[in-house]
Amino acid sequence: MKKIAIALFLSAILGTSVLAGCSPKEETPAPDTTKEEAAPEAEQPAAEEEFADLAELFKKGENAFKDGIYYAQTFTMTDQQSQMKTWHKGDKVKSSIVADGDEMINIIDSKTGEFITYSASEKTGMRFKADSGDSAFMPDTSMTDIASVDEQVDTATFEVVGDEKILGEDCAVILSKDKATNEEVKLWVSKKYGITMKMVSKGVDGSEMTIEVTELKVGDINDSEFEVPSDVVIEEF
């Protein structure tokens, strides 16, 4: 049960990666084209237009999650590092986390509210249902969470600051700043799929957290991926 508790804790943290994801790689700054030829101020997109563009970008991710997606993430904070693998398809999500030397598997069905967690080595686990309003056990959508843009327009600023590639994916680099605390979050979002390939969060105290996608596969996720192996004993709660 101790390992299960650790897995739940890590799942909650890593899921805000996000998204819910190796030490952060030093990114090459995007070229500053403004020095070459500054565009007339009248041609600069209005703030609301930029928000609309970001909304459309993130909205692309809805199809990726619906049709099926697999990604591996590395989560780095200070001197701690963790890895997690995640499979999404429709209403279901599965995550694999190595904790305490054991692989813990979490399977969530957001439609039924069912949550299953088990140890891959000990072949034991538990199953229970979350309350309908309990978002803590619902699939993480932080990789495609456009609601965070729409709902934070009054509390944070968003700006596209460059373009970079991650795992061969062309990404828009988006910088968000909290208007009250001045905390920064930088996102690398796939232009094709609308998913966050990397996130770097910087606190006002100098702390830094990085989540980066190290493997990505969109589509062709088998439904059997979300089934519990027959040799695993699940206790009902």
**Domain contains 101:** yes
Number of domains making up the chain: 1
Asked if the structure places residue 30 within a domain, the reply is no
Domain of 56: which CATH number?
A: 2.50.20.10
Q: Is residue 37 part of a domain?
A: no
Q: What is the mean pLDDT of residues 199-216?
A: 91
Domain contains 166: yes
More confident residue, 4 or 221: 221
87-93 contact pairs (CB < 8 A, 24+)? 87/221, 87/225, 87/226, 88/64, 88/139, 88/221, 89/65, 89/221, 89/223, 89/225, 89/226, 90/66, 91/139, 92/139, 92/226, 93/139, 93/140
Nearest to 57 by CA among 176, 183, 151, 160: 160
Quote the pTM value: 0.69
Kindly state whether residue 40 falls inside one of the protein's structural domains.
no
pLDDT number for residue 237: 86
- CA 181 to chain centroid: 23
Mean pLDDT confidence for 179-192: 90
